[in-house]
């Protein structure tokens, strides 16, 4: 097995024993990028000079016999919505095409303390608005399992590069499912931690009450290692919560004996692909065979989650994206007539169709005469959705559902129908409203060969039970060990 196929924990042991160097590992990743990136198109910016410098610094620590952190020398890809000092950060938007942040996001500062290696910035739906990574201003990312299908979104690039072994792990962001859904469609592990568990400082905002950074990894052990590195209270982010950060690796126990797993009937209703339903039911039954007990539960307000999300998230986006006006940074239209003309033309030319659609939706929902009818009502429904979960977690420890209602669909299949695209997130938005931690783990493959994800949810700040459940499942199955065979596409895509 080549170095780029190994996990973080396997590579850490090799680096520690000095069987390999971080520079060799980094070079193997760039060799893999040269091989598959023309087909996958997961990266927007590569930082090879910086990466080799960071790898060389990590090697000095290993050679001196220092006790190095688990992510030292590990090549990590970063979603292009996370600020990286002096490295282009575009949000996959024309309006930020040449933006180089003057500071690092808190998660980047934490990775630097670990001596991690940044490989580059990954493609995404523009400003994280989308479920397929087809809304990027620059390129469409392709699913490594089938290059004619989407990788999910909005963190499709971050999921695809881990699936393609052109990164060892990556960071994404999840607003309504943007880590969990692409993780499911690309056959990797993806986790959205509890809202407030990880600092959002330096995460370019889409919907501030929903956005959360999280990892994509090849297995659950790696997920715990990345969480250890990036979690914690941050004085620069007032929404980060001051709760103790445990050593998440201590949760990696191969035992679900006595765990109560809730199976919500609303998640197995009409619209769920039959093969997906079968694979997810099999995964839940596997957990029962391993000692967990199952209980059917009801989350009665689930049907309102998508409608609620597409009022609250665009409303927050309309406020957050008002700063992109061509005055201080980013794209500016050429030769405007006056200030108002500059605002209009800059935003018309700089934003893509989906971003404009959501800004208009959000502005309408917040406008005079409509705020009570839409935005405030949506906030009340959000509270009801959270109350459903609160009541459920009085009876069960974990909730198990499909991550996505279907496997990956063909590129272009849903771009003309925004509503169908929005329904891709029907399984993931409810937990986002409630601020819950959620993880998607591979649980099998449909007949066409595309992966399917099992979503697990726990109460806020109980990532330990989440990791324990997911780890036990992976210790007793082999779905996460499969790798896609990526065809070379010279010129076709």
> Per-residue DSSP letters for 421-456?
HHGGGTTTHHHHHHT--EEEEEEEE-TTS-EEEEEE
Quick one: pLDDT band at residue 488, thresholds 50, 70, 90?
confident
Tokens of 400: 């198990």
Strands (E), 271-395: 293-297
Quick one: pLDDT band at residue 161, thresholds 50, 70, 90?
very high
- Catalytic residue status for 154: yes
Query: What's the average model confidence in pLDDT over 322-346?
Result: 93
Of 33-37, 334-338, 461-465, the range with the lowest mean pLDDT is 334-338
- Catalytic residue status for 178: yes
Backbone angles phi, psi at 80, to 5 degrees: -75, 25
Quick one: pLDDT band at residue 409, thresholds 50, 70, 90?
very high
Give rounded-to-5 percent helix, strand, coil for the chain. 45, 15, 45
Quick one: pLDDT band at residue 490, thresholds 50, 70, 90?
low
Residue keyed to tokens 């607003």: 175
Quick one: pLDDT band at residue 251, thresholds 50, 70, 90?
very high
Active-site residue (options: 28, 39, 79, 132): 79
Q: To the nearest whole number, what is the mean pLDDT of the chain?
A: 96
Backbone angles phi, psi at 189, to 5 degrees: -90, 130
Active-site residue (options: 154, 240, 432, 440): 154
Parallel, antiparallel or unpaired: strands 293-297 and 75-79: unpaired
| 246-252 long-range Cβ contacts below 8 angstroms, 24+ apart | 246/464, 248/223, 248/224, 248/463, 248/464, 248/467, 249/221, 249/224, 249/225, 250/464, 251/224, 251/463, 251/464, 251/465, 251/467, 251/468, 251/471, 252/220, 252/221, 252/224, 252/467, 252/468, 252/471
Q: Give the per-residue pLDDT at 489.
A: 62
Of 244-248, 272-276, 391-395, 414-418, the range with the lowest mean pLDDT is 414-418
Q: Give the per-residue pLDDT at 353.
A: 96
- Catalytic residue status for 79: yes
Quick one: pLDDT band at residue 270, thresholds 50, 70, 90?
confident
Checking if the pLDDT of 491 tops 80, the result is no
Query: What's the average model confidence in pLDDT over 380-390?
Result: 98
Active-site residue (options: 136, 173, 178, 251): 178
Q: Which domains does the chain have, with CATH numbers?
A: 3-259 (3.90.1300.10)
Checking if the pLDDT of 397 tops 80, the result is yes
Look at residues 38, 178, 170, 135 and name the one whose alpha carbon lies nearest to residue 489.
38
Distance CA 452, CA 446 (A): 7
Query: What's the average model confidence in pLDDT over 370-390?
Result: 96
Q: Give the per-residue pLDDT at 329.
A: 87
Parallel, antiparallel or unpaired: strands 398-402 and 260-264: parallel
Residue 309 near residue 178, CB atoms below 8 Å: no
Distance CA 274, CA 294 (A): 21
Q: Give the per-residue pLDDT at 418.
A: 85
Residues 281-314 have pLDDT tens digits of 999 999 999 999 999 999 999 999 999 999 999 9
């Amino acid at each position: 097995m080549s170095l780029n196929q190994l996990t973080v924990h396997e590579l850490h042991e090799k680096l520690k024993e000095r069987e390999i160097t971080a520079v060799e590992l980094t070079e193997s990743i760039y060799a893999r990028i040269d091989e598959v990136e023309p087909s996958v198109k997961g990266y927007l910016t590569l930082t090879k000079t910086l990466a080799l410098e960071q790898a060389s610094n990590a090697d000095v620590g290993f050679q001196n016999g220092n006790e190095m952190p688990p992510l030292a020398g590990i090549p990590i890809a970063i979603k292009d919505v996370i600020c990286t000092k002096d490295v282009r950060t575009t949000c996959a938007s024309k309006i930020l095409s040449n933006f180089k942040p003057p500071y690092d996001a808190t998660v980047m500062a934490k990775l630097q303390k670990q001596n991690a290696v940044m490989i580059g910035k990954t493609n995404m739906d523009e400003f994280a608005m989308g479920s397929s990574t087809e809304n990027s201003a620059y390129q469409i990312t392709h699913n490594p399992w089938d290059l004619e299908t989407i990788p999910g979104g909005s963190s499709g690039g971050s999921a695809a590069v881990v699936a393609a072994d052109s990164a060892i792990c990556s960071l994404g962001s999840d607003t309504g499912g943007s880590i969990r859904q692409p993780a499911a469609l690309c056959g990797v592990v993806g986790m959205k931690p509890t809202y407030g568990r990880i600092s959002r400082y330096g995460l370019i905002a889409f919907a501030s009450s929903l956005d959360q950074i999280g990892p994509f990894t090849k297995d659950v052990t790696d997920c715990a290692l990345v969480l250890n590195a990036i979690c914690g209270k941050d004085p620069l982010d007032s929404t980060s919560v001051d709760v103790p950060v445990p050593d998440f690796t201590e949760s990696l126990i191969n035992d679900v004996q006595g765990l109560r797993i809730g199976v919500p009937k609303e998640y197995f209703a009409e619209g769920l692909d039959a093969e997906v339903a079968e694979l997810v039911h099999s995964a839940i039954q596997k957990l029962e065979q391993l000692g967990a007990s199952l209980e059917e539960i009801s989350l009665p307000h689930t049907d309102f989650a998508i409608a609620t999300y597409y009022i609250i998230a665009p409303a927050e986006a309309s406020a957050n994206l008002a700063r992109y006006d061509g005055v201080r940074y980013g794209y500016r239209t050429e030769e405007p007539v006056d200030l108002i003309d500059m605002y209009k033309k800059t935003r018309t030319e700089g934003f893509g169709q989906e971003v404009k659609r959501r800004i208009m939706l959000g502005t309408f929902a917040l406008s005079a005469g409509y705020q009570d009818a839409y935005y405030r009502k949506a906030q009340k429904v959000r509270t009801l959705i959270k109350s459903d979960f609160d009541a459920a977690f009085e009876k069960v420890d974990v909730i198990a559902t499909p991550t996505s209602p279907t496997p990956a669909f063909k590129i272009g299949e849903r771009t003309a129908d925004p509503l169908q695209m929005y329904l891709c997130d029907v399984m993931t938005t409810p937990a986002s409203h409630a601020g819950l931690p959620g993880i998607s783990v591979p649980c099998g493959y449909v007949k066409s060969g595309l992966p399917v994800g099992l979503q697990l949810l726990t109460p806020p700040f109980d990532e330990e039970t989440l990791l324990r459940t997911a780890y036990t499942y992976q210790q007793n199955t082999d779905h996460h060990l499969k790798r896609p065979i990526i065809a070379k596409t010279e010129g076709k895509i």
